[in-house]
C-alpha cells in the first residue's frame, strides 16, 4: 500500500529536484548553461533568390501560311540540328515551284553557253551574250527564291536542344511569323539572380556562392559567377548576374534557387552563440561570462553575424565560459550554478 501511495504522491509533484523550474536551485541561485567562446572561421553572407534559365533559346516561327501537316515533336523531345519540327500543308506546291525553277535555270544556263560559243565564233553579235546572261541571272534568282520559299514550309531545329513548348497541333492553320514551338540548349543552363544595388560593389566574379535548390532537399551546392550584366535594372534597382554550378547535376529551366553570397570571411574569429549577446538600454551589447562561480557582465563589440553564431571583435577572449541560457534574471556579480555540474536531486516523501 505504501509504495503505491508514494508513487501517487510523486505523480502529483511531491518529488522534485534542486532546480525549482524557474531557472533557480532550491536556494534561489540561478542555474545557467554555459559554452566556451570559440575561435573559428565565420562568414558574412547575403541570401538572394533566383531561377534556373537557359541562355540559348529559340522561338520557332512559321515563314509561310497554311495548315500544320506533319508535327514531328512533343515537349521534352531532344532534337538535332536540322531535324524537322513540323511541315506546313502547302509544301507540295512549293516543291513544284522549285522543280519548275530548276528546269528554267538549266535551260537558261545551256542557252548562255551556246550563245557565248556562237559569239566567240563570230556567228552572233556580242549584245546577244548580254541578253543571255541577264536571262540566266533572272532564272538563278527565281530558283533561289523558290528554295527559300520551300524552307518556309519546313521548320527545322537551328541547333541541338530540347523542345520546351509546342504551340500548335496538326491541322492548326498558321499565318506567317506565328510562333509554333520553343526550344532551349541544355548546355547553357545557368542560375540567374538579381543583386540589390547596395551590394553591387561587394559582389564580383570571385565571390563564392553556396546554392540550395528546392528540387534537391537538404543538399548544398557551390557555384561560380559566370556573368555580371553591364547595368542595373532601373525598375528594380538591381543588377542581373548568372552563375554555373560547380557540381554536375541535372537541372531544368524554371527551378527555384536560394543563393548565399559569401561577402567576407574571417578565419580566426572569436565567436559565441547569437543568443548569448544581450542588447543594453544604452544601445551597447554585453555578454555574461562565469568567473569563479559568478556571472560577470562584459560589454562587447560584435562583427559578422552568421546565425546561429556571431563574431565578438572586442571584450571576449577564446575559451571564456559564456552563459547561453538562464541569463534572464542575472545581475552583474550574481552567484550562479552551472547546469549539469552535479547538483543533487532530492525527493520528498511522507
SS (H, E, C) 75-99: CCCEECCCCEEEEECCHHHHHHHHH
The CATH superfamily holding the domain 91-149 is Helix hairpin bin (1.10.287.470)
Q: Indicate the domain borders of the chain.
A: 16-37+277-338, 46-56+185-265, 58-88+153-184, 91-149
pLDDT for the residue 105: 77
pLDDT for the residue 94: 64
Percent of all residues in the chain with a pLDDT value above 70, rounded to a whole number: 85
User: Which class in CATH covers the domain with range 46-56+185-265?
Assistant: mainly beta
User: Which class in CATH covers the domain with range 58-88+153-184?
Assistant: mainly beta
Tell me the pLDDT tens digit for each residue of 128-181: 787 878 887 887 887 777 666 667 778 999 999 999 999 999 999 999 889 999
What gap in Å lies between CA 174 and CA 232, rounded to an integer?
Answer: 39
What gap in Å lies between CA 211 and CA 223, rounded to an integer?
Answer: 7
Cell of residue 293, nine digits? 562561480
Q: Is 88 exposed, middle or buried (0-12, 13-18, 19+ CB in 10 A)?
A: buried
Cell of residue 225, nine digits? 559567377
Residue that the C-alpha cell 540559348 belongs to? 56
Is 88 in contact with 69 (CB distance < 8 Å)? Answer: yes
Inform me whether the pLDDT recorded for 189 exceeds 70: yes
CATH architecture of 16-37+277-338: Beta Barrel (2.40)
Amino acid at each position: 500500500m505504501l509504495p503505491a501511495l508514494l508513487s501517487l504522491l510523486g505523480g502529483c509533484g511531491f518529488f522534485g529536484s534542486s532546480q525549482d523550474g524557474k531557472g533557480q536551485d532550491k536556494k534561489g541561485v540561478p542555474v545557467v548553461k554555459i559554452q566556451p567562446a570559440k575561435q573559428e572561421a565565420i562568414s558574412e553572407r547575403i541570401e538572394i533568390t533566383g531561377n534556373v534559365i537557359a541562355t540559348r533559346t529559340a522561338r520557332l516561327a512559321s515563314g509561310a501560311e497554311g495548315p500544320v501537316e506533319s508535327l514531328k515533336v512533343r515537349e521534352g523531345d531532344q532534337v538535332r540540328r536540322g531535324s524537322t519540327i513540323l511541315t506546313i500543308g502547302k509544301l507540295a506546291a512549293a516543291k513544284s515551284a522549285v522543280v519548275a525553277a530548276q528546269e528554267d535555270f538549266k535551260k537558261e544556263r545551256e542557252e548562255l553557253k551556246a550563245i557565248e560559243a556562237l559569239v566567240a565564233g563570230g556567228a552572233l553579235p556580242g549584245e546577244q551574250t548580254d541578253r543571255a546572261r541577264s536571262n540566266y541571272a533572272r532564272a538563278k534568282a527565281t530558283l533561289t527564291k523558290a528554295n527559300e520559299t520551300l524552307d518556309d514550309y519546313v521548320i527545322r531545329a537551328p541547333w541541338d536542344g530540347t523542345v520546351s513548348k509546342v504551340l500548335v497541333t496538326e491541322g492548326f492553320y498558321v499565318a506567317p511569323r506565328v510562333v509554333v514551338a520553343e526550344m532551349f540548349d541544355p548546355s547553357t543552363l545557368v542560375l540567374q539572380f538579381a543583386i540589390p544595388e547596395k551590394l553591387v560593389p561587394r559582389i564580383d566574379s570571385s565571390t563564392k556562392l553556396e546554392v540550395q535548390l528546392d528540387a534537391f532537399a537538404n543538399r548544398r551546392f557551390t557555384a561560380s559567377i559566370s556573368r555580371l550584366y553591364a547595368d542595373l535594372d532601373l525598375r528594380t534597382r538591381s543588377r542581373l548576374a548568372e552563375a554555373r554550378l560547380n557540381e554536375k547535376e541535372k537541372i531544368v529551366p524554371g527551378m527555384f534557387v536560394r543563393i548565399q553570397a559569401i561577402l567576407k570571411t574571417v578565419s580566426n574569429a572569436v565567436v559565441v552563440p547569437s543568443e548569448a549577446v544581450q542588447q543594453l538600454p544604452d544601445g551597447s551589447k554585453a555578454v555574461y561570462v562565469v568567473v569563479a562561480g559568478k556571472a560577470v557582465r562584459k560589454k562587447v563589440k560584435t562583427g559578422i553575424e552568421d546565425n546561429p553564431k556571431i563574431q565578438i571583435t572586442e571584450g571576449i577572449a577564446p575559451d571564456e565560459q559564456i552563459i547561453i541560457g538562464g541569463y534572464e534574471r542575472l545581475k552583474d556579480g550574481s552567484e550562479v550554478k552551472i547546469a549539469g555540474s552535479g547538483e543533487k536531486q532530492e525527493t520528498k516523501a511522507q
